[in-house]
Amino acid sequence: MAVRVHIWGERACFTRPEMKVERVSYDVITPSAARGILEAIHWKPAIRWHVDRIHVLRPIRFQSIRRNEVGAKASAANAASAMKRGTTDGLGIAVDENRQQRAALVLVDVAYVIEAHFSMTGRAGPEDSPAKHIAMFNRRAAQGQCFHRPCLGTREFPAEFALIEEGEALPHSTLDKPDADFGWMLHDIDFARGNESRFFRAQMQGGVIEVPPFDAETVMR
């Protein structure tokens, strides 16, 4: 049950895990981010998306953006005690006391075609058939419907999307260097095993990155 989705946006940031304080994006979308976009359109616990191929349609270009960010997370312990006390006194983060100025090296003007399929999981009930889910996904993607607005890495970079119907040609590509070795790239995070990251060697040939299956031998932990 394969689908093809065209996604694009003005900016994107697929943060490299080794450079996430001052964020540096990967050169292209990761399979994990692509899966997130598909899930934003349609997902149920009964299915799992697998990204098969990523087509890169635009030249890879970067831009730097520096912003004032907050260095603290909301403390669940404080929230729990405030909840017990029944008051919000002392809750809240004063942003100017927790200031971090961070730069992000983000991609500009990106467009991709994601080729993906899904498999049924152990949580599929008798009413879940692949045909039903594929029909739901196709209907939603074709009509521009989504569960929540998909994004290109981070939520400030919203993604536009369009379904590429079966037999329909791929969108026009202006990619200037169709062959590249992007090195080791995040494949996805294994949520079943303590959020373990897995990496694969991302190589683009003719503008296409073949994504190995998540449990393939070439995927490193």
Partner 1 sequence: MSTPVTQRHEFVLYFDVTNGNPNGDPDAGNMPRLDPETNQGLVSDVALKRKVRNFVALVKDQEPGFEIYMTEGATLNNQHKKAWAALLPEVSRDDEFKRLPKDQQKAQALTRWMCTNFWDIRTFGAVMTTGVNAGQVRGPVQFGFAKSVERILPLEISITRMAATTEKDAEEKGGRTMGRKHIVPYGLYRVQGFVSAPLASHPTKGTGFSEGDLELLWQALGQMFDHDRSAARGEMASRKLIVFRHQSALGNAQAQSLFDRVKTWRVHEGSVQEIGSTATDNWPPARKWEDYKVTIDREAVPAGVEILEY
Give me the residues that bind partner 1 (CB under 8 A), please.
10-11, 63-70, 73-77, 79-80, 83-96, 101, 103, 108, 140, 143-149, 151, 155-158, 160, 162
Contact assessment for residue 52 and residue 2, using Cβ atoms and an 8 Å cutoff: yes
Q: What is residue 96's DSSP assignment?
A: G
CA–CA separation, 114 and 131 (whole Å): 20
CA–CA separation, 175 and 58 (whole Å): 4
User: Minimal distance in Å, beta carbon 211 to partner 1?
Assistant: 25
User: Minimal distance in Å, beta carbon 98 to partner 1?
Assistant: 9
Could you give the angle at which helices 31-41 and 130-143 cross, rounded to 10 degrees? 90
Question: Which residue's CB is nearer to partner 1, number 87 or number 174?
Answer: 87
Question: CB neighbours (10 Å) of residue 25?
Answer: 26
Question: Which residue's CB is nearer to partner 1, number 73 or number 193?
Answer: 73
User: Minimal distance in Å, beta carbon 105 to partner 1?
Assistant: 11
Question: Which residue's CB is nearer to partner 1, number 101 or number 205?
Answer: 101
CA–CA separation, 221 and 199 (whole Å): 6
User: Minimal distance in Å, beta carbon 90 to partner 1?
Assistant: 7
Question: Which residue's CB is nearer to partner 1, number 6 or number 16?
Answer: 6
